[in-house]
């Protein structure tokens, strides 16, 4: 009898082991990819498209056979333009859903919210939007523009081509506009611009009543000096802002506006006729005529089944970042975050506007800088493009606390190495 019982127990144990093995194999059949973008709230106007772009990229990669012989499985969450909720959703993706990588965030406040989670749980975030710099984290790869890849070249263009002498720095009231404008204010003063020729204004997310502010901008621009607006206004507040510019007859020939967070997606919901000639600074425009961009646009229209869906700069940043991640996983022969983090610096990926972007040791990439004029159809006419790709600078050369800092996760294993003291530490991470 004992032998019968012993045999039954052994068979049961084998069955349990076989079941556990099958469950484990099942769990490892896919590589999970987290998508952390607002699908509701004030930022949905910008972020929903990025979720769709990621789904397209994952679908295309799966049609090629996936990665390391495994299919990619997208896991989509909605942090709803709620900054603390971004951290909760990031934890859910990494701890509960067991994703290997996350592509997400738009605003810097959402990125700052999730940083402690990615560091604690040692996962990887690809961040696709232009930002204020002053940061380099081991767990983050910044595929959007640093200030030296967008804000500084935009100001240089306005000075050189438009002869601008007075500056309105208008932004949404959070970390990205405030830090970017701090850098721009220092840069403008360094260029000899007087303090009285710089007007700075901040408004909350979702701000809708622009009548007084646009009136103040017109008054500021009536002092006899060429005036321009540098806009770091984010989200759906851009719609009433541009409408009010049109209402008050602020033309690009009088007071040009150069925007850092307005692209084809945001213009899709606006009557663009009064905005013709206003500017945006990005690293990609849908109107760029290259074979790579045409193929990307065609794939986008086919995937969304909508020939009117536009593309934009952060979509290209996700395209570059996603393909870099795939190459790093294949290079490391693993989706393990530590191995992928070590494999990413030096990885190259052709961008959509011409040239090959490279992941740098500071976890930023090389990018071309483009200045575009708004056309009647909501597209952009590229009026200037840098001859070479510009390396992203994590720390600004124009802020006293930053100009001596260098980020290098390859040689120095440090995001804020002080070149004067020779030590890692101080600001940032």
Spatial separation of the C-alpha atoms in residues 326 and 62, rounded to whole Å: 11
Average pLDDT over residues 260-268: 88
List phi, psi (to 5°) of 121: -95, 0
- Asked if 280 and 130 touch (Cβ cutoff 8 Å), the reply is no
Three-state secondary structure call for residue 374: strand
Average pLDDT over residues 348-356: 96
Residue 168 — very low, low, confident or very high, per pLDDT cuts 50/70/90?
very high
Say yes or no to pLDDT of 429 above 50.
Answer: no
> Distance (Å, rounded) from C-alpha 202 to C-alpha 61?
42
CA distances from 69 to 28, 62, 334 (A): 11, 10, 11
Distance, in Å, from the CA atom of 91 to the CA atom of 95, rounded to the nearest integer, reads 6
- Give per-residue pLDDT as tens, 2-11: 454 445 444 4
Q: For the segment 86-121, what is each residue's pLDDT rounded down to a tens digit?
A: 999 999 999 999 999 999 999 999 999 999 999 999
The pLDDT of residue 28 is above 70: no
pLDDT-derived band at 201, boundaries 50, 70, 90: very high
Cross-strand bridge partners of residue 382: 372
Q: Which residue has the higher pLDDT, 20 or 304?
A: 304
- C-alpha pair distances (Å), 61 with each of 2, 70, 117, 163: 55, 10, 28, 47
Whole-number average pLDDT of the chain: 92
Q: Which CATH class is domain 149-282?
A: alpha beta
Evaluate if pTM is beyond 0.95: no
Report, as an integer, the average pLDDT of 251-256: 94
The model's confidence at residue 265, banded by pLDDT at 50, 70 and 90, is confident
Helix (H) or strand (E) holding 214: helix 211-220
- Among 168, 256, 253, smallest CA distance to 219 is for 168
Q: Is there a contact between 54 and 318 (Cβ–Cβ < 8 Å)?
A: yes
Name the percent of the chain lying above pLDDT 90: 86
Which distant-in-sequence residues (6+ apart) come within 8 Å of 256 by Cβ? 158, 162, 164, 228, 229, 277, 278, 279
Gap between the Cα atoms of 269 and 128, Å rounded: 22
**419: number of Cβ within 10 Å:** 10
How far is residue 280 from each of residues 125, 265, 320, 384, measured CA to CA in Å?
26, 13, 21, 11
- Between 224 and 429, the more confident residue is 224
Query: pLDDT-derived band of residue 426, with 50, 70 and 90 as boundaries?
Result: low
pLDDT in tens, 285-299: 999 999 999 999 999
Distance of alpha carbon 20 from the chain centroid: 40
User: Binning pLDDT at 50, 70 and 90, where does residue 24 land?
Assistant: very low
Core vs surface per residue 292-322: b (16+ CB within 10 A) or e: ebeebbebbeebeeeeebbbbbbbbbbbbbb
Tokens of 125: 């975030």
């Amino acid at each position: 009898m004992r032998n019968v019982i012993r045999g039954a127990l052994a068979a049961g144990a084998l069955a349990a082991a076989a079941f556990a093995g099958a469950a484990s194999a099942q769990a490892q059949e896919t590589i999970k990819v987290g998508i952390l973008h607002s699908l509701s709230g004030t930022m949905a106007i910008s972020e929903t498209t990025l979720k769709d772009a990621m789904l397209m990229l994952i679908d295309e990669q799966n049609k090629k056979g996936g990665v390391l012989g495994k299919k990619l499985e997208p896991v989509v969450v909605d942090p709803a333009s709620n900054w603390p909720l971004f951290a909760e959703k990031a934890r859910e993706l990494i701890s509960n859903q067991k994703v290997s990588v996350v592509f997400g965030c738009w605003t810097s406040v959402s990125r700052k919210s999730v940083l402690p989670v990615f560091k604690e749980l040692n996962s990887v975030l690809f961040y696709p939007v232009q930002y204020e710099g002053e940061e380099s984290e081991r767990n983050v790869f910044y595929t959007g523009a640093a200030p030296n890849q967008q804000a500084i070249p935009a100001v240089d263009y306005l000075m050189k081509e438009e002869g601008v002498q007075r500056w309105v720095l208008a932004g949404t009231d959070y970390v990205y506009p405030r830090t970017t404008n701090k850098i721009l204010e220092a840069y403008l003063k360094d260029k000899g611009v007087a303090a009285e020729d710089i007007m700075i204004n901040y408004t909350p997310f979702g701000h809708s009543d622009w009548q007084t502010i646009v009136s103040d901008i017109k008054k500021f621009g009536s002092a006899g000096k060429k005036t321009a607006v540098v806009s770091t206004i984010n989200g759906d507040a851009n719609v009433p802002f541009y409408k009010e510019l049109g209402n008050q007859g602020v033309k690009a020939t009088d007071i040009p506006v150069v925007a850092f967070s307005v692209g084809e997606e945001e213009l899709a919901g606006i009557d663009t006729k009064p905005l013709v000639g206003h500017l945006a600074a990005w690293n990609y425009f849908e109107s760029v005529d290259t074979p790579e961009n045409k193929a990307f646009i065609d794939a986008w229209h086919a995937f969304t089944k909508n020939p009117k869906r536009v593309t934009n700069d952060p979509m290209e940043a996700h395209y570059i970042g996603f393909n870099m991640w795939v190459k790093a996983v294949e290079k490391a022969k693993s989706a393990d975050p530590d191995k992928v983090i070590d494999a990413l610096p030096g990885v190259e990926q052709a961008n959509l506007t011409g040239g090959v972007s490279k992941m740098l040791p500071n976890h930023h990439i090389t990018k071309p800088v483009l200045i575009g004029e708004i056309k009647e159809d909501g597209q952009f006419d590229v009026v200037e493009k840098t001859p070479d790709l510009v390396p992203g600078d994590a720390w600004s050369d124009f802020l006293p606390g930053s100009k001596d800092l260098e980020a290098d996760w390859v040689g120095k294993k440090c995001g804020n190495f002080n070149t004067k003291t020779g030590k890692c530490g101080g600001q940032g991470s």
